[in-house]
Amino acid sequence: MNNLTPKGIALRISLLVATIVTIIVLLAQAYADKYNFLVIGCVYPAAFFSSYFGFLIAIEKFIYSKIKLVYRTIHNLKRNKNSNLKNISLDTDILNQVREDVIEWDKTNKQEIERLKDMESYRREFVGNVSHELKTPIFNIQGYLLTLLEGGLYDEKINTSYLTKANKSVERMIAIIEDLDQITKLESGIIEMNIQKVDLTELTQEVINSIDITAQEKKIKIKIINHTNKPSVFVFADNDKVSQVLVNLIVNSFKYGKEGGETKIEFFDMDEHILVEVSDNGQGIPEEHHARLFERFYRTDKGRARNAGGSGLGLSIVKHIIEAHEQTINVRSTPNEGSTFSFTLKKYSNK
């Protein structure tokens, strides 16, 4: 009787009942020695149909009352009245269907629990990172202020320099908070994108002019290479945000590039898109970091990057900006050879 449908069960039982009833009627007639074949002919179908529908109604009632409880538990039927029961057909193997639904429900629940656990650990890690990042400048400020309060204020040799250093730490805190604020806004889609025609070659040159001084400190050569067959590269993008992306990537190429090295910014024509690549021949990034590189606060070398003044928010902002343009960013890198960050932007066409 495995995997029988309710209709199958009712059919088998009714056949049995109809046969027994007919035999009883036959025996009764034999006992009375009075055979009525019309009665015998009617008894079988009558017994069959009445017991079939009787059983079907009883089974249906029983299953509905039991299964309703199961579905009420797994699908919260109180709020969503009977919606799942409408799909139950007496032609199907209901118990098996319920078993499969329960397994499915269990799987979804487990996935949801995993997702909540991930979110919780992500939240905990995030709060830990924020407080860790803010702690350093706050303790620095406190140190300078205490020294000044304890008499340093009247010491001409240190008072101005300590105040200047305290102010630097305040600026660092503001920078971190502004970066976090921007990430939050980009994530929640609050920031409005001002998409327009942007001359990428011109914008890149402007960005380089504004940060050139850092490159000079490390004697890094900068090259813009346009592989498209047009003198200017036009894209549809938010000018200020793409400028921010270029600043972040180019400054990283200086920061993690080698003394006397080279930074290249290249443009490739990809039919509907422009591919931009920013590469350096610096320290490179080991493969195991690539997947997490664009996470907030992620650094490959915690100690060194912190000394370099970075908070590990740059690439996270870059990724959010590129995604807000509905484009993607990738990294290729080999330790001690260099890194290449590549992203696409929609090509401007006046069609």
314 is an interface residue for Mg ion by CB under 5 A: yes
Q: At what angle do helices 159-188 and 94-149 cross, to 10 degrees?
A: 160
263 is an interface residue for Mg ion by CB under 5 A: no
Q: Which of 60, 199, 266, 301 binds ligand ATP (CB under 6 A)?
A: 301
Of 172 and 347, CB closest to ligand ATP: 172
User: Minimum distance from CB of 319 to Mg ion (Å)?
Assistant: 12
Residue nearest to Mg ion (CB): 314
256 is an interface residue for ligand ATP by CB under 6 A: yes
Site string for Mg ion, 225-254 (x = CB under 5 A): ---------------------------x--
Residue 328 CA to residue 11 CA, distance in Å, equals 61
What are 333's strand-pairing partners? 339
Instruction: Give the pair of three-digit tokens for residue 80.
Output: 């969503």
User: Minimum distance from CB of 252 to Mg ion (Å)?
Assistant: 4
What is the size of the binding site for ligand ATP (CB under 6 A)?
A: 24
* Nearest Cα residue to 19 out of 39, 47, 38: 47
What is the size of the binding site for Mg ion (CB under 5 A)?
A: 3
298 is an interface residue for ligand ATP by CB under 6 A: yes
Instruction: Say if CB 273 and CB 345 are below 8 A apart.
Output: yes
Instruction: Say if CB 297 and CB 127 are below 8 A apart.
Output: no
**Which of ligand ATP, Mg ion, none sits in contact with 182, Cβ below 5 to 8 A by type?**
none
Instruction: Say if CB 263 and CB 280 are below 8 A apart.
Output: yes
257 is an interface residue for Mg ion by CB under 5 A: no
**Which of Mg ion, ligand ATP, none sits in contact with 283, Cβ below 5 to 8 A by type?**
ligand ATP
User: Minimum distance from CB of 205 to ligand ATP (Å)?
Assistant: 20
* Nearest Cα residue to 242 out of 350, 344, 338: 344
Backbone angles phi, psi at 163, to 5 degrees: -65, -40
26: left (phi over 0), alpha (psi -120 to 50) or beta: alpha
Question: What does the binding site for Mg ion look like in residue numbers (CB under 5 A)?
Answer: 252, 310, 314
